[in-house]
Amino acid sequence: MIKFLFKGLLRDKSRSRLPVIVVTIGVTLSVFMHAYIVGFMGDIIEINARFTHGHMKVMTRSYADNMQQLPNDLAMADVSSLLNDLNSQFPATTWSPRIQFAGLIDVPDINGETRSQGPATGLGMDLLSPLSTEKERLNLQKSLIRGRLPEKKNEVLLSEEFSRKLAIDPGEQLTLISSTMNGSMAIHNFIMSGTVAMGHEALDKGTIIADIEDVQYALDMENAAGEILGFFKSGFYDDETALMYAERFNSSDTLNNDEFIPVMRSLSQQGTMGTYVSMTKMWSLYISLVFIIAMSLVLWNAGLLGGLRRYGEFGIRLAMGEEKSHIYRTLIYESLIIGIAGSITGTALGLFFAWLMQKYGIDFSGIMQGSSMMIPSVIRARITSADFYIGFIPGLAATVIGTMLSGIGIYKRQTAKLFKELET
């Protein structure tokens, strides 16, 4: 009977073409919007990951306990060896050492006397290595306001607002006054190569960005780093995988009480980021659910109207002696075939459009020049495993339920009135 119904739907385009198109459009929108919402809601996580937290972060145990204080005296030594171990253990992850520090920026005049000063927070990262992706990860080129990015040793970037406050221009010298890894005073001269807009008020007031080797030399941290940030090569944070990696890395040293032993923390295990991750998952689910319910109502009504329009056909079939239960079952079978066909086609189209947006995104940096470091300049979707089946909820379930409700009217038809209805 299924084969007979399938052939009937193929030959009678009025019964199959429009319903399949409606279901396909509804499922396509549902799948695409779910991927878009998950990607959009995850932007705040990715921003924090790229700038400070990483998808995972490796630190010494004592550094992790005092992370908010940026205690470089508790930093990791022999970082190059640790990086080799991390790359071999977690090949699907990119690892980048960083140093966060604080200090005083002093700008001298032509006589070498202090012209202006200001407190700053600093970030040391790999800016000069040819294979480094740090500049792209932080959108430094798009965030550039004046000057250029560092191209050689002892060149740094300042936040634009901070540079205006210090009255310093690209090419001029500045001095960093801070403390070394061993607690002594550190004084080091840099050249400001350019300025960037951070897109965050607190960071715009006083930020300096330098190559990590220059920071290591200035702070007496040779082959040392406060943190090693890990980023999934997929470009998206996966909380379950990050937690699994952290547990695997930390399991070998659970009995070691050394305060300088390296430990790994996932992004959700760092400060309040766990709350952000949970909220993102929750709100992504709620927003997607609202849209799916809306699309389900549309497809429900489509199935309901499709059944109501065929009451004349049902009357003829009843007049010819066909049982009401048989008509009802065939109506449901037809809706199942239409729902499956539309859901498969719609899911494929939705995944295709979501993939395009995930790969290429929508770039609106042209209207936000100078503030793309902390504010994403490209909106991207994110395809998850749920996108492969979520479209079947409105596409199949809602269509069948709508058809079942409309088909109830079959049992209310009275055979005695059928000929009178057919005559009219």
pTM over 0.75: no
Judge contact between 40 and 379, C-beta under 8 A.
yes
Q: 309 and 341: one domain?
A: yes
Same domain, 61 and 18: no
In degrees rounded to 5, what are phi and psi of residue 352? Answer: -65, -50
Structural domain includes residue 265: no
Amino acid identity for residue 131 in this structure: L
Mean pLDDT of 340-345: 86
pLDDT at 424 over 70: no
Give residue 390's pLDDT.
84
For residue 252, with 0-12 CB atoms within 10 Å meaning exposed, 13-18 middle and 19 or more buried, which class applies?
exposed
Mean pLDDT of 236-255: 83
pLDDT of residue 21: 81
Annotate 57-89 with b (16+ C-beta within 10 A) or e (fewer).
bbbbbbbbeebeebbbebbbeebeebbeebeee
Residues 6+ away with beta carbon under 8 Å from 68: 271
Separation CA 130–CA 269 (nearest Å): 32
Instruction: Identify the three-state secondary structure at position 252.
Output: coil
Same domain, yes or no, for 137 and 192?
A: yes
Q: What pLDDT sits at residue 14?
A: 59
- 299 lies in the same domain as 189: no
Q: pLDDT for 209-237, tens place per residue?
A: 999 999 999 999 998 999 999 999 888 88
Average pLDDT, stretch 326-341?
Answer: 78
170-199 in b/e form (b: 16+ CB < 10 A) is: beeebbbebbebeeeebebebebbbbbbbb
Of 123, 103, 107, residue with least CA distance to 179: 103
| Whether residue 195 is found in the same domain as residue 225 | yes
Please identify, among 236, 254, 285, the residue that sits at the C-terminal boundary of a domain. Answer: 236
Average pLDDT in the 119-133 region?
90
Q: What pLDDT is attached to residue 139?
A: 83
Weakest-pLDDT range from 63-72, 101-110, 280-289 = 280-289
Task: Check whether residue 215 and residue 319 sit in a common domain.
Answer: no
Q: How many domains does the chain have?
A: 2
- The larger pLDDT score, comparing residue 171 to residue 10, is at 171
The band of 406, judged by pLDDT with boundaries at 50, 70 and 90, is low
Judged against a pLDDT cut of 50, whether residue 4 lies above it is answered with no
Instruction: Decide if 252 is inside a domain.
Output: no
Residue 72 pLDDT: 87
31 and 69 inside one domain? no
The reply to whether 220 and 134 lie within a common domain is: yes
Q: Residue 176 pLDDT > 90, yes or no? A: yes
d(CA 269, CA 291): 31
Q: Which of 22-31, 88-97, 321-330 has the highest mean pLDDT?
A: 88-97
Q: Read off the pLDDT of residues 350-387 as tens digits, 9 standing for 90 and up.
A: 999 999 988 887 766 555 554 455 566 677 788 888 88
Instruction: Decide: helix, strand or coil at residue 101.
Output: strand
Host domain of residue 295: 2-44+276-423
The Cα 21–Cα 410 span in angstroms is: 26
114-125 vs 207-211, strand pairing mode = parallel
Mean pLDDT of 2-31: 68
Q: Are residues 61 and 170 in the same domain?
A: yes
303 and 369 part of one domain: yes
Q: Are residues 28 and 63 in the same domain?
A: no
